[in-house]
Amino acid sequence: MTTSLLLPSVSAAEKTLQVGQLVGKTPLYEIRNVYRKPGVRIFAKLEWQQLGGSVKSRPAFNIIKNALRDGQLGHGQHLLDATSGNTGIAYAAICAALKIPVTLCLPENASPERKRILQAFGVNIHYTSRFDGTDGAQLEAKRLNREQPDRYFYADQYANDNNWRAHYETTAPEIWQQTCGKITHFVAGLGTTGTFMGTGRGLKMFNNDIELIGLQPDNPMHGLEGWKHLETAIVPKIYDEKLADRFLEVDTLDAYDMVRLLAQSEGLLVSPSAAANLLGAIKVAEQIGEGTIVTTFADNAEKYSEVMNHIFG
């Protein structure tokens, strides 16, 4: 015998509001053991602690919320985009809660965990060549949208201003409040560039003297998932090269070493891209006498079993 509960119906606007309560508001963690220097403090936003499990939940929700509000995403339409995994998972989790179908273009070499998570959410996946990375996935998404424009709302995270605005409106104010306005440097890797663009612009509104440092992999054939080597990749339309005060490069193998060190010294098991962000923050710390440096840990290690086997095996 089964029983069913009769719950009051909830409007689309109410559902969206409920989901929004689970996005953002992530904790700020101070690095105390991996690196210490008198007069310098390093903090990281633990971005996996929100619905969707990564920093990409912020832009994914903002893109969806505004598309629904503006009538761009209609009833029965699929949300369509290209992703290396994290934005796709964020789309999938949020859209599952809002009963919106999702179609994603994903490089075939995405981790098995990411594929399983997307499949669990019921996502329609179009796999693209591992050799073309997210650039190839973008081209496939554009092709699908061109052929069936009425079927899809093409979110286009690489060109959608609601990507960076999510960080402008949420990440930057959170960092400012959590550091009591003491932040002096913001450091982040460049992928879609939304985190860096939005957070950087937002922080400059609070204090124009805050230095913004953009991070890139040191070569095109890197292993930092989600990052772009901008000199050899399709540059996202939302990217403004004039925003960063300066740039630093990070080596993938150094990031793998930092994954191990963070786990054993701080109790944080993070992704290689998160570890790379910390490496960049430490490089900045080595160059200054005093200050408060903030970076983001985009996600934890749950979706990277092959990389973790390499690091800890």
Here the tokens at position 162 are: 């609601």
Same domain flag for 210 and 174: yes
- Report the predicted TM-score, pTM, of the whole model to 2 decimal places: 0.93
User: Are 47 and 299 a contacting pair, CB within 8 Å?
Assistant: yes
Inside any domain, residue 70? yes
Same domain flag for 235 and 300: yes
Inside any domain, residue 6? no
Placement of tokens 């081209």 in the chain: 139
When divided into structural domains, the chain yields a total of: 2
Instruction: Give the CATH number, domain containing residue 34.
Output: 3.40.50.1100
Task: Please compute the mean of the pLDDT values over residues 89-116 and round it to a whole number.
Answer: 94
Beta bridge partners of 128: 107
Here the tokens at position 131 are: 């050799």
Same domain flag for 125 and 174: no
Q: Is the pLDDT of residue 275 over 80?
A: yes
pLDDT digits (tens, 9 = 90+) for 54-78: 999 999 999 999 999 999 999 999 9
Domain boundary among the residues 129, 154, 179 is at: 154
Inside any domain, residue 274? yes
Inside any domain, residue 103? yes
Task: Please compute the mean of the pLDDT values over residues 154-161 and round it to a whole number.
Answer: 96
Q: Is the pLDDT of residue 90 over 80?
A: yes
Task: Please compute the mean of the pLDDT values over residues 25-37 and round it to a whole number.
Answer: 98
The predicted pLDDT at position 1 comes to 43
Same domain flag for 51 and 188: yes
Same domain flag for 193 and 269: yes
pLDDT digits (tens, 9 = 90+) for 206-229: 999 999 999 999 998 888 888 889
Domain that holds residue 63: 57-154
